Amino acid sequence: MRKPNKIKIIPLGGLGEVGKNITVFEYKEDIILIDCGMTFPEDEMLGIDVVIPDVTYLLKNRDKIRGIVLTHGHEDHIGALPYVLAKLNLPIYGTKLTLGLVENKLKEHKLESVKLNIVKHGDTIKLGNLDIEFIKTGHSIPDSAALAIHSPVGTIVHTGDFKIDYTPIDGDVIDLNRFAELGNKGVLALLADSTNAERPGYTMSERTVGNTFRDIFARHKHRIIVATFASNVHRIQQIINASEQNNRKVVLSGRSMTNTISVALELGYLHIQEGTLIDINDMNKYSSNEITIITTGSQGEPMSALSRIAAGEHKKIEIQPEDLVIISATPIPGNEKTVSKVINNLVESGTKVIFEALADVHVSGHACQEELKLIHTLVKPKYFIPVHGEYRHLKKHAEIAESLGLSRENIFILENGRVIEFTKDSAELNGFVPAGNILVDGLGVGDVGNIVLRDRKHLSEDGLIVIVVTISKKEGVVLAGPDIISRGFVYVRESEDLMEEARNVVKAVLDDCEQKNITDWATLKSSIRDTLRNHLYGKIKRNPMILPIIMEV
């Protein structure tokens, strides 16, 4: 009897977390990837710049991969591309703006041989045995797409990040009709965005923010500084519209803001009157009521433009008490403290700050419960996998699907690396593939792991003591030292007695080893480390990292 055809779905990121979205679809000898995102490090990932997905499975199966298909241009969906493409030169497929942002990113990383293929909404591309159809959706960045993966096993719909906005800024409404057509033909499985699954009701239209901006800009008679995501082109368009209506010039601050706006302008996704955008160096030629500054830093990132403005460290922008600062974003989970710190710094300088809790200056780009219910009702999938979100978001989305009549046995809450196989009539979990975090620190990709992070944590909490001893190669006797250098442990000038005691403890260990004719370096080092650690812990209940250095002459 012939085995039934199977299609595998393997999420390598984006499940049980916010960000780092990447999903493998595998049918026989063909693999396609949907998205390739990064995320920002958690607090305990000391010194790490970004986190990207583990692509070990892809490296092992590189000959099967037909391409990377992108749903939209946010960092959590395209941010890992430069790191993955450095190992796997694959063709990329996406809409015009998405690929414009990708091209910019690849130039920065000097990856200019990658083939970028622009796809329009409504088009279908063929990659091996899989046909991928691009469906128009709405999100907080233009040119977002859902994907219908048509395979010999059946059609699988992946929503990407989406919301249902009936009055979008660009007038290009989500193609609900196509979702309904696919549902009527029969959809094997649905993978849908779960970010806002806990929020009841509907996500407000982006236009509500535009109305708020118009009111604020008409009333405020001094400089306005607006912090938002550089990628939120629709939001930036509305800030520019409100500025132009009130005869304000617009200044950009932040590298990602300048880059994104330049790409969006070039590709026709932003419309700005001639003379509205001015150079930051020309700002002082205008009075304060003629200036709007659009800046990055809505998440309180320490090195961002807004954080530097708030701390008085920006080279070109000095905060004035009569300024109005609008933070047009919601803190991503984990960023609440840094955003709060920036707001406090601004308020301390006498400036008024408006953020989401005070006015409608932000709306989400993700679907709330009623919008999710609409998509489920139109698509009518046989199986459902909630994606994009922490476990609680995935669980809530699963409950919504069940409340709409989908059998619990047909809903799968997966974790990164979990393999699920579909035939026309069945779905079955089948093992795991590697799917962890690869940490990027500077130019080092993956060279910082758990042991290094543990050492950094240890150093950050308890400090370091370096002990330098010079020993005679012939006689094995101590010629110089022990010298003790301390960093981040105690303030040496006020702890001279403690350091002298430590020196005597090490001296006693060396004398003891000398009497016992112990010259093996490993034994000497471990004896110094253990004895000094016990002494210091007994004295002040601290446990610094102890690094003995032995030199032979």
CA distance 470 to 156: 69
**Amino acid identity, position 32:** I
Considering 54, 165, 193, 323, which one is annotated as catalytic?
193
- Binding residue per annotation — 441? yes
For 41-109, give the DSSP string: PPTTSTT--EEEE--HHHHHTGGGEEEEE-S---HHHHTTHHHHHTT----EEE-HHHHHHHHHHHHHT
| 123 catalytically annotated | no
CA distance 290 to 303: 27
- Nearest CA to 135 among 146, 143, 123, 119? 146
Name the β-bridge partners of 324: 224, 352
CA distance 13 to 390: 11
H or E segment at 528? helix 521-540
> 452: which residues sit within 8 A by CB, 6+ positions away?
none
Strand order in the sheet with 545-552: 478-487, 464-471, 545-552
The backbone torsions φ and ψ at residue 190, rounded to the nearest 5 degrees and listed phi first, read -120, 130
- Binding residue per annotation — 366? yes
> 2: which residues sit within 8 A by CB, 6+ positions away?
none
- Binding residue per annotation — 139? yes
- Binding residue per annotation — 222? no
85, 114 Cβ separation under 8 angstroms = yes
- Binding residue per annotation — 109? no
- Binding residue per annotation — 323? no
CA distance 87 to 69: 17
- Binding residue per annotation — 335? no
**E-only strand ranges, 102-168:** 116-118, 124-127, 130-136, 145-151, 154-158
Using DSSP, state whether 259 is helix, strand or coil.
Answer: helix
- Binding residue per annotation — 230? yes
| 172 catalytically annotated | no
- Binding residue per annotation — 363? yes
- Binding residue per annotation — 246? no
- Binding residue per annotation — 189? no
Torsion of CA 523, 525, 530, 535, to 10 degrees: 130
- Binding residue per annotation — 268? no
- Binding residue per annotation — 364? yes
- Binding residue per annotation — 113? no
Name the β-bridge partners of 226: 294, 326
Using DSSP, state whether 256 is helix, strand or coil.
Answer: helix
- Binding residue per annotation — 76? yes
Considering 150, 158, 366, 397, which one is annotated as catalytic?
366
Binding residue ranges for Ca(2+): 47, 49, 441
Binding residue ranges for substrate: 230-232, 362-366
Binding residue ranges: 47, 49, 72, 74, 76-77, 139, 161, 230-232, 362-366, 388, 441
Catalytic residue numbers?
Answer: 193, 366
Binding residue ranges for Zn(2+): 72, 74, 76-77, 139, 161, 388
